[in-house]
Amino acid sequence: AHPRNKQYRFELAVVLFRLGRNGRAKFHLEQLRGTDLTPAERRVITRMIGEIDARRVWSGYFSFNLRPESNGTKQTEDRILVIGGLPLILNDTAIGKPTVSSIVASGITYAPTLGQGVKAQFSLNAYLKYNTEAALRDYQLTGRAGLSFSKDPARYWEGGILLGTRRSSDRPYSETFGLYLNHARRVGAAGTWRIGGEVSRAFRRGRSSDIDRTFVSVGYSHAIGGNAQLSLLGFVEKNDTDQLNLDGFRRGVSISGLYGFDGGLMTSITLRSEADDRKGINRVFGAARSDRKTALDLRVYHRDFRIGSFAPEIQFGIERNRSNIPLADYTNRYLSLGMTRKF
């Protein structure tokens, strides 16, 4: 494979296009936007991408990951804390420890055409995290129903309603209802802007307070040279609830790069930074929780290597959370071994 050779990549995209391998064909066509194309070549690629989007009715993904973590409970690793000048000895349940989680993420989308450039959108997504410790188990199911508009190949809109259910720590946690809206716009020869928003209410089970959530994200991606891509993303999230330890404001930014080597080896690296400020005063430490998290992820996979119909991948990562609440100040390292499939 020669990812920097635009002729090779285009011929590969055409073959995949004719075989109906829409996802892989579109990936290669999008990467070609970062190469030196003539106006005629660029028009052909834009037309092919539009045809792929128009003819795709069913799409989905499935992934399974085994994730060992050095501090999966995300708690301090210190056994003794000093509070008000006095030492506090923590028990084992309050100290971070290694864990291994099994994570399944999957989704399916049905998008029938209603008219030129207009589609219905129905999707169902699942996130299932299992751990031997019940407190770390998390099961989420989210459905969306809406419409998408792409009459102009350079612009895309989608929006609708969402419904979700969540089970945490082996107990029912919440039912969610909300609205979402996303927009994408091509910029220049190789760039794409994306903006998305969501407003929702999580109806908590038991006596817990409901949570009103507002989330907005803005991102930009740029194809480079046919074998690389640079992406920037920023987000803000506001949670309003009477449960003050969850009421607060979170925001973050990330920068990531994707690079394809000759032969098909793909690597991506992501640097993330987040800030999370809560309103509720911790009675033990006398302060509202304020966290600053930095994380670095490295993902490695081979574009053409398959085990059956699944693509194996390896992910390494480290995250450092600095918190004014010593119990939540931690460092975590992880390794994820996974298998993915898109269709």
From the list 197, 152, 126, the residue with the least C-alpha distance to 53 is 152
If you average pLDDT over residues 128-134, what whole number do you get?
Answer: 96
Cβ count within 10 A of residue 39: 7
pLDDT for the residue 4: 60
Tell me the backbone φ, ψ of residue 290, rounded to 5 degrees. -140, 115
Position 288 scores a pLDDT of: 93
Question: pLDDT, tens digit, for every residue of 132-155?
Answer: 999 999 999 999 999 999 888 789
148 Cβ neighbours under 8 A, 6+ residues apart:
111, 118, 119, 120, 121, 156, 157, 158
Which residues are within 8 A (CB) of 240 and not within 5 positions of it... i.e. 6 or more apart? 211, 212, 213, 247
Separation between Cα atoms, residue 278 and residue 245, nearest integer Å: 6
Distance between CA atoms of 81 and 65, rounded to whole angstroms? 35
Distance CA 79, CA 219 (A): 41
In this prediction, residue 2 has a pLDDT band, given cuts at 50, 70 and 90, of low
Compute CA 286 distance to the chain's CA centroid, rounded to the nearest angstrom.
34
Q: What is the Cα gyration radius of the chain?
A: 22
**SS3 at position 268:** strand
Q: What pLDDT digit, counting tens, does each position of 5-47 carry?
A: 677 777 777 888 788 777 778 877 877 877 777 788 878 887 8
Binned at pLDDT 50, 70 and 90, residue 162 comes out as very high
Distance CA 254, CA 256 (A): 7
DSSP β-bridge partners for residue 99: 69
Give the whole-number percent of the chain exceeding pLDDT 70: 99
Strands 86-89 and 80-83: antiparallel
**Cα gap 303→248, rounded to integer Å:** 41
Nearest-10 Cα torsion for 5, 17, 228, 265: -80
Q: What is the pLDDT of residue 87?
A: 80
Three-state secondary structure call for residue 59: strand
pLDDT band at 3 (very low <50, low <70, confident <90, very high): low
Nearest to 186 by CA among 174, 175, 194: 194
Local confidence band at 342 (pLDDT 50, 70, 90 cut-offs)? confident
The pTM of this model reads 0.87
